[in-house]
């Protein structure tokens, strides 16, 4: 493809050359990005409330990030694990300083993506503790490879036609206080019920002697942007301590400032034994990883895992600089403040837009669940919303059956945030008439 292209030409060529297995949220072809905005091939500007699905936490093409990528690419692009290099070590040290206190002397392993990070996070306790079983939760999304897919339970379509998934994974009920099979809307009571189910699973399905770990998202992503209750997470910590199993946090979407904390575990007053990260970790380049306690990592034998591209020098420099910007510019605080403002504004709009059923989330990871008159998920409405949104100059994604997910750059301004929220509110008003 050469010469001046149009968006239609790019989309047409994509449909000719690329597998249809990968879908797209909006029918727009992007040519470049800058800060909180994307631009198509005609130069039309779109405010970005998706950020590559929680990847570009300091916006598109931040000049400081671009500079370190260019410098590193000119010095050393790739060696794999053939020898040693400093870039992955420097980023690992920064992650350890920013992560759980119990992991300050822990160790990091870098991989290429969130899915691979989950594969590693499941492998470590299974190998080290010599136990085979994992408890995950309905609504959780952990990736599509065979191991991660065994834990994924956000949509049965991901498992369609698949056999031979990793055995030993059982699913409990995640405490979604807005929509759950018990009709319970009290956080404390619902947490108790869901924890009791986990205990019953251990009694009847997966004995403590065989339980390697419990895998959970502190806030479910693909499942509908559903924050876990504090009591539930603390209860899981207690169960893991009692059974000698590992508490595994999937922080692939929630990490690096997204929830108003550097990592989401900080909201719950407990620390995991294993923490998987990705997405924003690479600052826009493919990078994922796992940090775990020294006790677990030191028992993982040499050669137990390998990755040709994991911890690539350019990706690590990009991720390190992005993390430094988040910390230096207090972007976690900005995410917390603007996230609270976002929920307040959307809850105010909810009073006059009956199709808004629930507004929830931590920091700048906000979900807006759309409902029909009978309270059921508004699947037709979310489809119409997603078709309309790019026409108004906004890029956004959805989650669950009918949830708008709002995850702009952490350094977005209040004026830009208002611009996007006003578009969302106006579209919902128009479609609800």
Based on the domain organization, do 123 and 153 belong to the same domain? yes
Identify whether residues 42 and 84 lie together within a single domain: no
For residue 166, the model assigns a pLDDT of 81
Whether 47 and 85 map to the same domain: the answer is no
Point out the domain boundary residue: 284, 300, 328.
328
* Local confidence band at 2 (pLDDT 50, 70, 90 cut-offs): low
- Higher pLDDT: 362 or 302? It is 362
Give the pLDDT mean for 405-418: 98
Rg for the chain, CA atoms, rounded: 21
Q: What is the CATH classification number for the domain harbouring 410?
A: 3.90.1150.10
147: CATH: 3.40.640.10
Range of the domain at 362: 7-58+330-432
pTM equals 0.96
**Choice between 139 and 303, residue whose per-residue pLDDT is larger:** 139
| Residue 321: band (very low, low, confident or very high) from pLDDT cuts 50, 70, 90 | very high
Residues 274 and 342 in one domain: no
pLDDT above 90 for 390 = yes
Give first-to-last CA distance, the chain, whole Å. Answer: 44
Asked whether residue 267 falls in the same domain as residue 312, the answer is: yes
- Judged against a pLDDT cut of 70, whether residue 122 lies above it is answered with yes
Confidence label for 300 from pLDDT (cuts 50, 70 and 90): confident
Question: What mean pLDDT comes out for the span 190-198?
Answer: 98
In a domain, 1, yes or no: no
Residue 114 belongs to a domain: yes
What is the model's pLDDT at position 167? 87
Can you tell me the distance from the alpha carbon of 108 to that of 52, in angstroms, rounded to the nearest whole number?
24
Using alpha carbons only, what angle is made at residue 345 by residues 254 and 51, rounded to the nearest 5 degrees? 35
Last residue of a domain, one of 328, 352, 371: 328
Residue 9 scores a pLDDT above 80: yes
Q: For the CA atoms of 228, 363, 224, 14, what is the dihedral angle to 10 degrees?
A: -140
pLDDT, averaged across the chain: 95
Q: What is the pLDDT of residue 160?
A: 85
Sign of CA dihedral 204, 205, 210, 213: negative
Q: Is the pLDDT of residue 1 over 80?
A: no
Residue 283's pLDDT band (boundaries 50, 70, 90)? very high
pLDDT tens-place string over residues 227-267: 999 999 999 999 999 999 999 999 999 999 999 999 999 99
Q: Do 191 and 287 share a domain, yes or no?
A: yes
Pairing mode, if any, of strands 356-362 and 365-370? antiparallel
Quick one: what percent of the chain has pLDDT higher than 90? Answer: 89
Q: Could you tell me if residue 2 is inside a domain?
A: no
Evaluate if residue 216 carries a pLDDT over 60.
yes
Same structural domain, 31 and 90: no
Same domain, 178 and 201: yes
Mean per-residue pLDDT, 410-414 = 98
Please tell me whether residues 22 and 127 are part of one structural domain: no
Examine the fold and report which residue of 328, 350, 380 is the final residue of a domain before the chain moves on.
328
């Amino acid at each position: 493809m050469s010469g001046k292209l149009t968006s239609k030409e790019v989309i047409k060529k994509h449909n000719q050359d690329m597998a249809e297995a990968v879908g797209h949220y909006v029918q727009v072809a992007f040519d470049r990005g800058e800060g909180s905005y994307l631009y198509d091939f005609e130069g039309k500007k779109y405010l970005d409330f998706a950020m590559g699905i929680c990847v570009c936490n300091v916006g598109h093409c931040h000049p400081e990030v671009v500079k370190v990528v260019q410098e590193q690419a000119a010095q050393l692009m790739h060696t794999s694990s053939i020898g040693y290099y400093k870039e992955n070590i420097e980023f690992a040290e920064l992650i350890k300083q920013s992560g759980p206190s119990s992991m300050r002397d822990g160790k990091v392993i870098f991989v290429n993506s969130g899915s691979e990070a989950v594969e590693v996070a499941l492998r470590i306790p299974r190998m080290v503790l010599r136990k085979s079983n994992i408890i995950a939760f309905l609504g959780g999304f952990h990736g599509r490879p065979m191991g991660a897919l065994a834990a994924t339970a956000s949509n049965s379509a991901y498992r369609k036609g698949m056999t031979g998934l990793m055995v030993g994974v059982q699913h409990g009920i995640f405490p979604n206080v807005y929509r759950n099979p018990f009709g319970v809307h009290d956080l404390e009571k619902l947490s108790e019920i869901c924890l009791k189910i986990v205990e019953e699973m251990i009694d009847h399905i997966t004995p403590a002697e065989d339980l390697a770990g419990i895998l959970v998202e502190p806030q479910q992503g693909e499942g509908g942007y559903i924050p876990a209750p504090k009591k539930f997470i603390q209860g899981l910590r207690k169960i893991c301590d009692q059974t000698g199993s590992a508490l595994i946090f999937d922080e692939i979407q929630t990490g690096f400032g997204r929830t108003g904390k550097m990592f989401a575990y900080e909201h719950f007053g407990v620390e995991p034994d294993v923490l998987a990260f990705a997405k924003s970790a690479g600052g826009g380049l493919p990078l994922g990883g796992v940090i775990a306690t020294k006790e677990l990592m030191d028992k993982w034998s040499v050669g137990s895992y390998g990755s040709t591209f994991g911890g690539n020098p350019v990706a690590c420099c990009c991720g390190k600089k992005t993390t430094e910007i988040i910390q230096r510019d207090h972007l976690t605080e900005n995410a917390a403040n603007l996230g609270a403002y976002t929920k307040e504004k959307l809850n105010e709009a909810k009073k006059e837009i009956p199709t808004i059923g629930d507004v929830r989330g931590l920091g700048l990871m906000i979900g807006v669940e759309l409902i029909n008159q009978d309270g059921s998920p508004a699947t037709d409405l979310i489809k119409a919303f997603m078709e309309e949104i790019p026409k108004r100059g906004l890029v956004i994604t959805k989650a669950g059956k009918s949830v708008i997910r709002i995850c702009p750059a952490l350094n977005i301004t209040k004026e830009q945030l208002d611009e996007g929220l006003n578009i969302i509110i106006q579209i919902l008003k128009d479609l609800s008439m």
